[in-house]
């Protein structure tokens, strides 16, 4: 009996702890110790699905999308059983707090939503490994702490924002490493090949894409984000392996739009993390490097959406494999890296749980304030250019960010004109109106205000991005709240095109129109463009207008109709090729567009982001075929198969070395076209191509060097600050365009360029200086005083004939991160219109 009773006790005891044993830890599920090696993405997915299937009353997984390479994108929702049962009510209540949902008032006595995102950079690999441990400990019944925190928080885990990049790294590392991982730097597993695992399939940095949403991962994620609007967003990264751990508070500069609560609470969170790091003797730093300014990061974008947005940086990443010898003689292991990310994940949850009321109240205040008082100095942004198809791109951007807009008719106002940079009177006839009196008011301010407020201090990224410049749209910033009539302007849907016409005309104003051009070329439609303005009756058409003649396209009119509908572009039918003013369609001023066979340089030597931007533009946006040629295989190319070669930013022997580019030069002489972009132009300036970089005013420099100057006596501690005089991260300059050149068709008289380096070029003596920067063309963003001197009176967009062929110089990167919409038209013009 005694014995049996003892057994019974054991059975009872076992029953009590059974749930804990039932849920397998990552170690148990995977069959190896977390941190001993990297886990491929499908096994991470398996673990998250397994946990959701096991703890059904507290956890579920939702697949919110798929990557370019077909990997699933997941969110895992974790809550107490009580909250989990009413998760949808919690979500809706949260949206009511923000004012996005308006059916009834929101209640701040609700759980805070904490969203933890891991591994946005694919080769910062400890993130997703940590996510599994976090998930387990949140649901481990033996963990009394997390059980307590979940009473008033709901946790959303995105275990891997960038599965394609992560697997690119993990598959490579797994192939490189032996049974015993080698911590020595010289071992091959520490030397990741081009393009590295940081970015997604198209080499895009997903942590620069939150606001622009050019990438499929971001597009699908932000849709979900806007349905939840979390109070906290944590973004887990890795940095150089010698660096100590970084957590909030963030570094200066903060954008002015960051609220005092968002600022001060970052400090409280940081101190909570510090408590655990101190107890373990771990090294860390705060308030340095990672600022809160550029709006498209995983910390700033949530911040401008009312959240406490934070970046976390563990030492490690692509070069560190699973173990690496640090400069200080310590060995950093994947196990260490997981421990640190795990600690800050749980610590974040702890501090939010303990301050639930304050966090929820401040969150509500953030939105109440925007809705009732507007945000910033300029309360309303009025886009007056709503006739051109350019507006379609901007509307898409507003829609995906959940920004409301309306239309206004005929009010007389005063506002800041983005194009002239002056205060002017204007009327709002039929304008698009974006008000800051709305839940997303702060985001509107940050994306639209003409000059973002930045203290004189180093920032990690570009310092100017105002949307009217990026989209090339005539806009006014107005200080008043503007009543909007809510009427929408709908572009006239093209009616059925008559078959019996002489031809069809399409006005050419935007990248949307370039997409239509690409679609029509793909459909085999014979296309022409007008080099000069013309008119038929009262109908005026600007240079660049696309012409489809019926002759030769008889069986394609249906395709034209379909494409015009798809891109929402109106088509004008004409009955005659005789123009009332301007040239007839038989004139040599009307050019046939030969469908170009386009190639680009890719691979080692290329800046992988820059290559990815061109690739994505053609493959995903223009839907136009492009051949990717590796830079080290240029010698082997049969140039006869190619009409246009795009050379993205990078360092290339074949551009600088005379012997290496004979074939290429011959091809251009015989009619080929090179489009050199960004620092590829700088490379060409060092070779014998005919373009020269403009030097700073040397005479002046020499004079200054000659005599002693007290300015040379700098303080050691100010060395960083002094460097800023020669610093430009990304500022906006106005470029004056030669509107008669096909490169500038559809662009208007000026183009606003995002200037990211000090490189400018001498005016071309033989060729066309299509885009030049004159003095006083600076518009917005931080430019160091030494550089400011240099950027003037120079060429930045040009074309130079080379035999029968041509070279197009786009000296800045016009498609940077693919969000500079007007730059996409510039590159399209270079490909499709120049030298036709
Ligand atoms: Zn990162």
Separation of 720 CA from ligand 1 center, angstroms?
23
Q: Which two tokens stand for residue 234?
A: 């944590």
Q: Residue 623's Cα: distance from chain center in Å?
A: 20
Tens of pLDDT, residues 130-142: 999 999 999 999 9
For residue 645, the CA-to-ligand 1 centroid distance in Å is 32
In the structure encoding, which two tokens stand for residue 548, read together? Answer: 């489809």
Chain CA centroid to CA 535, Å? 40
Average pLDDT over residues 47-70: 98
State pLDDT tens for residues 384-423: 988 888 999 999 999 999 999 998 877 889 999 999 999 9
Q: Is the pLDDT of residue 372 over 90?
A: yes
* Distance of CA 787 from the midpoint of ligand 1 (Å): 29
As a whole-number percent, the residues of the chain with pLDDT over 70 amount to 93
Q: How far is the CA of 626 from the centre of ligand 1 (A)?
A: 30
| pLDDT at residue 32 in the model | 98
CA of 68 to the centre of ligand 1 (A): 20
- Tell me which of 168-177, 481-490, 576-585 is least confident: 481-490
CA distance linking residue 161 with residue 594, whole number of Å: 41
Cα 317 to middle of ligand 1, angstroms:
8
**Direct distance between the N- and C-terminal alpha carbons of the chain, in angstroms, rounded to an integer:** 100
* 245 CA distance to ligand 1 middle (Å): 13
What is the band of 1 on the pLDDT scale with cuts at 50, 70, 90? very low
Peptide bond into 170 cis (omega under 30): no
Q: How would residue 454 be classed by pLDDT, with cut points 50, 70 and 90?
A: low
Residues with C-beta atoms within 5 A of ion ligand 1: 121, 124, 237
pLDDT of residue 12: 42
Phi, psi dihedral angles at 510 (to 5 degrees): -155, 170
Instruction: Give pLDDT tens digits for 307-360.
Output: 999 999 999 988 999 999 999 999 999 999 999 999 999 999 999 999 999 999
- As a whole number of angstroms, the distance between CA 806 and CA 138 comes to 62
Answer yes or no: is pLDDT of 114 > 60: yes
pLDDT in tens, 706-761: 677 776 777 777 666 566 777 788 899 999 999 999 999 999 999 999 999 999 99
Q: How far is the CA of 313 from the centre of ligand 1 (A)?
A: 7
Structure confidence at residue 11 as a pLDDT band (50, 70, 90): very low
Return d(Cα 576, Cα 555) in angstroms, integer.
19
β partners of residue 113: 154
* Spatial contact of 506 and 545, defined as CB atoms under 8 Å apart: yes
pLDDT tens digit sequence for 688-708:
898 999 987 654 555 555 677
d(CA 609, CA 629): 16
Q: Please give the distance, rounded to the nearest whole angstrom, from the Cα atom of residue 152 to the centre of ligand 1.
A: 30
Alpha-carbon distance of 52 to 739, in angstroms, equals: 60
The average pLDDT across 20-41 equals: 93
Alpha carbon distances (Å) from 511 to 491, 530, 678, 826, 827: 17, 18, 20, 8, 9
| Distance of CA 458 from the midpoint of ligand 1 (Å) | 19
User: How many angstroms separate the alpha carbon of residue 36 from the centre of ligand 1?
Assistant: 22
Neighbours of 804 (CB within 10 A): 11
| pLDDT for the residue numbered 487 | 58
Q: How far is the CA of 689 from the centre of ligand 1 (A)?
A: 38
Distance 210 CA to ligand 1 centre (A): 14
Predicted confidence (pLDDT) per residue in 794-822, tens digit: 999 999 999 999 999 999 999 999 999 99
Q: What confidence score (pLDDT) does residue 485 get? A: 61
pLDDT at 463 over 80: yes
Q: Look at residue 16 in the predicted model and tell me its pLDDT.
A: 43
Q: What number of other Cβ atoms are within 10 A of residue 140's Cβ?
A: 18
Cα 232 to Cα 88, 386, 717: the distances in Å are 18, 37, 36
Residue 437: is its pLDDT beyond 80? yes
What pLDDT does residue 17 have? Answer: 43
User: Pick the residue with more confidence: 706 or 33?
Assistant: 33
Ligand 1 centroid to Cα of residue 205, in Å, is 9
Q: At what angle do helices 87-98 and 216-228 cross, to 10 degrees?
A: 90
Q: How far is CA 199 from CA 195, 196, 309, 354, 461, in A?
A: 8, 7, 21, 36, 17
The rounded mean pLDDT for the chain is 92
User: What is the layout of strands, in order, in the sheet containing 431-435?
Assistant: 406-408, 431-435, 380-383, 475-478, 412-417, 422-427
CA of residue 319 to ligand 1 center, whole Å: 13
Å from CA of 209 to ligand 1 middle: 13
Residue 482 — very low, low, confident or very high, per pLDDT cuts 50/70/90? confident
Q: How far is the CA of 344 from the centre of ligand 1 (A)?
A: 16
Distance 239 CA to ligand 1 centre (A): 7
Q: How far apart are CA 638 and CA 662, in angstroms?
A: 13
- pLDDT exceeding 90 applies to what percent of the chain? 82
Upper half-sphere CA count for residue 414 (Cβ side, 13 Å): 3
Cβ–Cβ < 8 Å for 372, 437: yes
Q: How far is the CA of 165 from the centre of ligand 1 (A)?
A: 12
């Amino acid at each position: 009996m005694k014995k049996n009773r003892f057994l019974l006790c054991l059975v009872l005891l076992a029953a009590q702890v059974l749930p804990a044993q039932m849920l397998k830890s990552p170690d148990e599920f995977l069959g190896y110790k977390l941190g001993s090696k990297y886990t491929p993405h499908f096994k991470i997915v398996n673990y998250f699905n397994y946990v959701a299937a096991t703890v059904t009353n507290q956890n579920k997984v939702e697949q919110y999308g798929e990557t370019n390479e077909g990997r699933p994108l997941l969110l895992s929702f974790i809550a107490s059983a009580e909250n989990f049962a009413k998760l949808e009510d919690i979500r809706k209540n949260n949206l009511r707090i923000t004012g996005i949902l308006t059916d009834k008032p929101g209640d701040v006595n609700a759980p805070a939503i904490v969203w933890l995102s891991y591994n946005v950079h694919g080769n910062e690999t400890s993130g997703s490994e940590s996510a599994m441990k976090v998930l387990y400990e949140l649901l481990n019944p033996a963990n009394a702490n997390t059980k307590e925190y979940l009473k008033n928080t709901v946790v959303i885990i995105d275990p891997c924002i960038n599965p394609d990049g992560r697997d690119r790294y993990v598959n490579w590392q797994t192939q490189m490493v032996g049974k015993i991982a080698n911590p020595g730097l010289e071992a091959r597993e520490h030397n990741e090949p081009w393009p590295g695992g940081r970015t997604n399939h198209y080499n895009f940095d997903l942590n620069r894409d939150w606001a622009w949403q050019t990438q499929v991962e971001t597009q699908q994620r932000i849709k979900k984000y806007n349905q939840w609007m979390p109070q906290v967003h944590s973004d887990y990264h890795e940095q150089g392996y010698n660096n100590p751990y970084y957590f909030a508070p963030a570094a200066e500069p903060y954008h002015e739009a960051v609220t005092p609560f968002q600022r001060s609470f970052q400090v409280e969170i940081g101190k909570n993390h510090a408590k655990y790091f101190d107890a373990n003797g771990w090294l860390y730093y705060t308030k340095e490097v990672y600022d809160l300014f550029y709006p498209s990061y995983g910390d700033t974008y949530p911040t401008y959406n009312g959240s406490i947005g934070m970046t976390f940086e563990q030492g490690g990443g692509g070069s560190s494999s699973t173990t690496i010898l640090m400069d200080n003689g310590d060995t950093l292991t994947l196990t260490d890296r997981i421990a640190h990310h795990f600690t800050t994940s749980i610590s974040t949850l702890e501090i939010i749980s303990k301050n639930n009321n304050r966090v929820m109240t401040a969150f509500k205040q953030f939105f109440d304030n925007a809705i009732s008082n507007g945000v910033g100095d300029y309360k309303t942004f009025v886009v007056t250019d709503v006739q051109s198809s350019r507006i379609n791109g901007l509307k898409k951007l507003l829609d995906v960010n959940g920004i409301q807009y309306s239309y206004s008719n005929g009010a007389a106002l005063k506002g800041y004109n983005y194009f002239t940079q002056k205060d002017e009177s204007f009327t709002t006839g039929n304008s698009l109106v974006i008000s800051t009196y709305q839940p997303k008011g702060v985001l509107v301010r940050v994306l639209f205000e003409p000059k973002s407020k930045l203290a004189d201090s180093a920032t990690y990224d570009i310092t100017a991005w105002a949307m009217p410049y990026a989209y090339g749209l005539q806009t006014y910033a107005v200080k008043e709240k503007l009543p909007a009539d809510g009427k929408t302007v709908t572009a006239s849907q093209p009616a059925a095109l008559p078959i019996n016409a002489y031809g069809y005309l399409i006005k050419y104003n935007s990248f949307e129109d370039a997409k239509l051009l690409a679609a029509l070329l793909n459909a085999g439609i014979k296309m022409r463009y007008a080099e000069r303005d013309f008119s038929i009756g009262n109908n005026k058409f600007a240079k660049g207008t696309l012409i489809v003649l019926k002759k030769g396209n008889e069986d394609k009119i249906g395709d034209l109709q379909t494409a015009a509908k798809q891109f929402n572009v109106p088509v004008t039918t004409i009955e005659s090729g005789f123009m009332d003013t301007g040239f007839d369609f038989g004139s040599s001023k009307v050019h046939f567009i030969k469908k170009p066979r386009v190639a680009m340089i890719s691979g080692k030597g290329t800046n992988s982001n820059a290559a990815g931007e061109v690739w994505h533009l053609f493959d995903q946006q223009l839907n136009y075929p492009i051949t990717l040629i590796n830079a080290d295989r240029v010698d082997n190319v049969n140039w006869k198969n190619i009409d246009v070669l795009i050379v993205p930013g990078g360092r290339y022997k074949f551009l600088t070395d005379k012997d290496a580019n004979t074939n290429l030069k011959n091809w251009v002489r015989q009619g080929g076209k090179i489009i050199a972009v960004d620092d590829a132009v700088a490379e060409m300036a060092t070779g014998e191509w005919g373009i020269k970089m403009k030097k700073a005013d040397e005479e002046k420099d020499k004079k200054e060097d000659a005599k002693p100057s007290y300015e040379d006596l700098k303080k050691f501690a100010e060395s960083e600050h002094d460097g800023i005089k020669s610093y430009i991260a990304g500022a906006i300059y106005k470029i004056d365009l030669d509107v008669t050149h096909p490169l500038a068709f559809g662009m208007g008289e000026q183009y606003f360029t995002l200037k990211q380096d000090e490189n400018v070029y001498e005016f071309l003596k033989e060729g066309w200086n299509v885009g030049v920067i004159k003095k006083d063309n600076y518009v917005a963003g931080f430019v160091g005083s030494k550089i400011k001197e240099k950027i003037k009176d120079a060429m930045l967009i040009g074309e130079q004939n080379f035999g029968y062929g041509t070279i197009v110089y786009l000296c800045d990167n016009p498609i940077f991160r693919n969000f500079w919409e007007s730059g996409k038209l510039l590159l399209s013009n270079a490909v499709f219109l120049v030298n036709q």
